[in-house]
Amino acid sequence: MGSLTTHRGNHLRHEVPADVRDALQAYASRLGVFDSDIWWYHEIGSTNDAALAMAERGAAEGTVVAADLQTAGRGRQGRVWSSPPGAGLYVSVVLRPVFRAVPLVTLAAGVAIAEGIRTASGLTPALKWPNDVYLGGHKVAGILAEAGAGEGRPIHIVLGFGVNISQASFPPEIAMRATSLERELGRPVDRGLILACCLAALSSHYAQLSVDPGAVLQQWRLRAASTLHRPVTCTVGQRTIEGVAEDIDDDGALLVRVTGETIRVVSGEVIWH
């Protein structure tokens, strides 16, 4: 663990651990917007909460907040994201996207995390809408995007991602559905390399959103091929929809075919059958 450098709220900022620092240095030329400002904590409530607070105070695009463990890690739909020490990557980045790119940021992130895992490990994850990352039918990574706006500033997005590195004691309710990179590979994994590859891929796909969003959608479709054209149950607010997930549209909404009509699902819970 590195030495303490700064106080921020109740948490102590540390130097980036040596394994992570070495990998980030090796990938420096590919980190783009994420190459300079990384805040590393040994323990934190939620990296998303910290990054949202920093973004509100004007933190630059590309600011990275990461921790060895989270005591209040959050997932989508109000769920808890289990974040035991050293068992995963817990990372949030501050983005300030152009307006038209906002709806596609989470899909670009899914593509990037899947690609980063593939580059670093050789494993080929699949995506499930909107951006769950799966290996062999089990979830290995998740993404939580949250928007905010500081006073007088355009919208910012904090994009948090958690990658299961080792098979820590998953809580019973997720143990059957989750996996880790080490379980899939059967060997130890270099978390610094996974982080560097994910940030490099995120930098490239995020930049692509401004110039060629269609290319990001196409890459998302390729990685989600095994989950499209399958029966789904979607819960949107109080409404439950049963149908077949056909595709995504240009804004990243899931298109679900339900007896003769196609319904756009913008958010909500999706169960794949």
Positions that interact with ligand BTN (CB under 6 A): 46-48, 70, 73-76, 79, 81, 90-92, 132, 142-144, 160-162
Tell me whether residue 75 or residue 103 sits nearer to ligand BTN (CB atom): 75
Quote the least distance from Cβ 260 to ligand BTN, whole Å: 32
Going by C-beta distance under 8 Å and a sequence separation of 6 or more, which residues neighbour residue 149?
Answer: 155, 156
Tell me whether residue 72 or residue 98 sits nearer to ligand BTN (CB atom): 72
Are 145 and 109 a contacting pair, CB within 8 Å? yes
Through-space distance between the first and last CA atoms of the chain, rounded to whole angstroms: 44
- Per-residue DSSP letter, 240: E
Quote the least distance from Cβ 113 to ligand BTN, whole Å: 10
Going by C-beta distance under 8 Å and a sequence separation of 6 or more, which residues neighbour residue 175?
Answer: none
Alpha-carbon gap, residue 214 to 198, rounded angstroms: 21
Quote the least distance from Cβ 89 to ligand BTN, whole Å: 8
Q: Which residue is nearest to ligand BTN (CB)?
A: 142
Tell me whether residue 47 or residue 121 sits nearer to ligand BTN (CB atom): 47
Alpha-carbon gap, residue 130 to 268, rounded angstroms: 9
Quote the least distance from Cβ 5 to ligand BTN, whole Å: 21
Tell me whether residue 51 or residue 120 sits nearer to ligand BTN (CB atom): 51
